Amino acid sequence: MGLEMIPSIFVAGIVVATVCLGLYATRLSRTTSDFYVASRGVSPLWNSSAISGEFLSAASFMGIAGLVMKFGYDALWYAVGYAAGFVFLLLFIAGPLRRFGAYTIPDFAEGRLDSKGMRTVAVVFALAISFFYLMPQMKGAGITLAQLVGSPYWVGVVTVGVVITANVILGGMKGVTLVQAFHYWVKQFAITVPIFVLFAVTGAGYGANVGDAGRLGAKDTGTPIARLAQDVTTKYPAAGELRFTSDGRVEAARTIAARLIAPPTADAPRPIAKAISLEAHRTFEGKQGETLIFPDGAELTLKAGMALPNVPSGEDWIHPFGPLTGTYEHPVLYTYSLVIALICGTAGLPHILVRFYTNPTAREAKKTTFMVIGFLSVFYIFPAMWGAMGRDFIPSLYIDGATDLVTIRLPEQVLTALGDPVLGRVLGGITSAGAFAAFMTAFSGLLVSVAGGFAHDIYGRILRPAASPESRLFAFKVAAAAGGAIAMGLGVLVEDFDIGMLVGWALAIGASTFFPLLLLGAWFRGLTKTGAVAGMIGGGVAAVGSVVFSMLVDKGIAAAPAPLVGTLTSQPAIWTVPLALTLMVGVSLATKSMVPRDARLKMLKLHAPEELGLKADYIED
């Protein structure tokens, strides 16, 4: 047995532990309510662990470290925005939502506004968000397992898919609660302990790493960016770019149409792209500061002697308004819009919101959310440490933009160089197990949400309102099986697609649809169904339209807009969230006659303490 087997043992361990916990949990789950909302009996410690576990997906466990490595300071906002999103959830949504006592978020939409149509609109958005969020988890599992053990891509997807689908079918919400809580602690351990070991063995802590990372490629007193000792050939499945950090030579395997962006000069402060053709097997000479943008499926050989491409300069990396927020000349505006998207998006994710129904009371929902904020606050200090250290120790990840892999690859890289490959593999095994915990828990939460959408909202309420609890329980299982199969199919299909932006889409849609709906649903008595639908559709369409437009610009299909428009379309929350809120309030005021007759009683139920005896859940089974 070789050393390279060590990480896969850890991954196998977390998968087996998940299966065992899942099997154990099936003995606990019997009733319909167990499957949909764990019988509303989850204590704050379990529930906050489970919510934290469910929320810390691949985007948090691997993604933030990768973004910090790639973009530096600006990427810290991701961790801050996610955590702040839960503060907003606590302040405005957690208590009232729990008091409402339903099974799914579309239940809230329908019940609060007395409208069947609301349920349909809400379930469409909820399913769209869940599927967008789910595909990157599947892809992450496939790629990570392929990295670790060289398995074909589909193996990782199917492993995570089968384990979690079985878990959800057998244990429902009650079953996944146990698994999610366990996975939270695995992830917390995996992101903290290995980085401290790495700090100890290298003798350089967080501050030293950030300091070094800030000097890498800096103009005057900086350390130079490493040069390639030999030719490096990389296949890029998705379109990407190569920013030359020194003059260098590149060769393409086949002729491709690319674009070249020259660095800004005093005469031409704004970069201009020109179309070029990269001839097959003919070397292309790139100048320092130029950026080569290439299409999907390019295979490029970077010639020995050129400095690693795509490494941002030390100044750009360590200081605010670097490459992430600075692309469109309005970095402050971009930053604000990003933060709004993250906060409102987090507070508008249906698979997270549904977990609040599992608390016994609103007080416990608030306590749970407070504990989630505490857990996430500890967790989110760490990804940036990985990103900074990764920039110093494995800058080769910049070549193909695979900085997401920094948490997986860093321990092995550092400790092998220091002559302790076994410890390196063990720590790498721990972080890999953490990554798998992230794929599995996020997927489990999403699958419960998808199954709830199909079985409860579409089957149990829209198609067959008279269905018995037993048949709705059966429908949940069927929907979970079907949802799991669809997710695995999609996961296998998207291997060669660039789907990194899908989580961003999910957040953008959540921020501009569910967040305004829940905020106003809980606090604005005059909300009407017409107003809510207008706001959700207006906000959702504006958000998706903007993001699609800016993607077309990135791919060179649409012409680049003015910088202000570019900023506001690539990061639209700063205007789409207010747009959705304004539409909801405005249209509601114009359709006052449609305010539900018992709106006051509904509001009273959302806000009166349970002790007063109004505690009747909207859905009781």
Which residues are at the interface with other proteins (CB under 8 A)? 73, 76-77, 79-80, 83-84, 86-88, 90-92, 95, 205-211, 318-321, 331-332, 335-336, 339, 363, 366-367, 369-370, 373-374, 377-378, 380-381, 384, 523, 600-601, 603-604, 607-609, 611-614
Q: Give the Cα separation of 360 and 596 in Å (integer).
A: 27
Alpha-carbon distance of 530 to 593, in angstroms, equals 11
Q: Which is nearer to other proteins, 267 or 611 (CB)?
A: 611
Rounded distance between C-alpha atoms, residue 509 and residue 576, angstroms: 9
Kindly give the residue spans of alpha helices, DSSP state H, lying in 246-382: 314-318, 331-346, 350-353, 362-379
**CA–CA separation, 600 and 608 (whole Å):** 11
Minimum CB distance to other proteins smaller for 5 or for 80: 80
- Rounded least distance, CB 84 to other proteins, Å: 6
3-state secondary structure of 289: coil
Instruction: Tell the smallest beta-carbon distance from residue 37 to other proteins (Å).
Output: 22
> Quick one: 84 or 126, whose CB is closer to other proteins?
84
Question: Whose Cβ is closer to other proteins: residue 159's or residue 325's?
Answer: 325
Burial code of 588-618, b = ≥16 C-beta within 10 A, e = fewer? beeeeebbbeebeebbebbeeebeeeeeebb
Reference 348, options 511, 195, 481; nearest CA is 511
Residue 58 or 606 having the CB closest to other proteins: 606
Nearest to 451 by CA among 119, 79, 123, 68: 123
Nearer to other proteins, 465 or 613 (CB): 613
> Closer to other proteins at the Cβ: 46 or 88?
88
Alpha helices in 468-620 (DSSP H): 469-493, 501-512, 514-523, 529-554, 563-570, 573-590, 599-607
Of the pair 207, 269, the CB lying nearest other proteins is at 207
DSSP 613: T
How near is the Cβ of 432 to other proteins at its closest, in Å? 25
Q: Name the residue nearer to other proteins (CB basis): 127 or 384.
A: 384
Reduced to 3 states (helix: H, G, I; strand: E, B; else coil), residue 280 is strand
* Ramachandran angles phi, psi of 158, nearest 5°: -70, -35
Please say which residue, 89 or 447, places its beta carbon nearer to other proteins.
89
What is the smallest separation between the CB atom of 555 and other proteins, expressed in angstroms?
A: 29
Cβ closer to other proteins: 369 or 403? 369
Amino acid identity of residue 308, one-letter, is L
The DSSP bridge partners found for residue 580 are none
Q: How far is the CB of 604 from other proteins (least distance, A)?
A: 5
Distance in Å, CB of 47 to other proteins, minimum: 14
Name the minimum Å distance from CB 550 to other proteins. Answer: 21
| Minimal distance, residue 377 CB to other proteins, in Å | 4
The Cβ-side half-sphere exposure at 98, using a 13 Å CA radius, reads 28
Instruction: State the SS3 of 215-279.
Output: HECCCCCCECCCECCCCEEEEECCCEEEECCCCEEEEECCCEEEEEECCCCCCCCCCCEEEEEEC
Tokens of 92: 């405005």
* Residue (2 or 613) nearer to other proteins, CB: 613
Shortest gap between Cβ of 217 and other proteins (angstroms)? 17
C-beta of 199: minimal distance to other proteins in Å? 12
Q: How far apart are CA 66 and CA 75, in angstroms?
A: 9
CA gap 477, 565 in Å, rounded? 46
In this structure, are residues 497 and 558 in contact, taking their beta carbons and an 8 Å threshold?
no
**Cα–Cα distances in angstroms (integers) from residue 121 to residues 34, 158, 344, 458, 533, in the given order:** 26, 31, 19, 11, 7
* Inter-residue contact 195 to 389 (CB < 8 Å): yes
SS3 468: coil
Cβ 200 to other proteins shortest distance, Å: 16
Judged by CB, which is closer to other proteins: 339, or 408?
Answer: 339
In the bound complex, what is the minimum distance in angstroms from residue 465's beta carbon to other proteins?
Answer: 27
Between 144 and 368, name the residue whose CB sits nearer to other proteins.
368
Which of these, 523, 446, 436, lies nearest to 480 by C-alpha position?
446
172 φψ region: left (φ > 0), alpha (ψ -120 to 50), beta (else): left
Length of the chain: 621
**What residue type is 485 in one-letter code?**
A
Nearer to other proteins, 307 or 388 (CB): 388
Check if the beta carbon of residue 138 is closer than 8 Å to that of residue 497.
no
CB 143 within 8 A of CB 160: no
- The structure tokens listed for 358 are 């599992």
> Which residues make beta-bridge pairs with 233?
301
Name the token pair of 213. Answer: 């990372």
What is the nearest approach in angstroms of other proteins to the Cβ of residue 615?
A: 10
| Shortest distance in whole angstroms from residue 563 CB to other proteins | 16
Distance of closest approach, residue 95 Cβ to other proteins, in angstroms:
7
Looking at this protein, which amino acid is placed at residue 537?
Answer: I
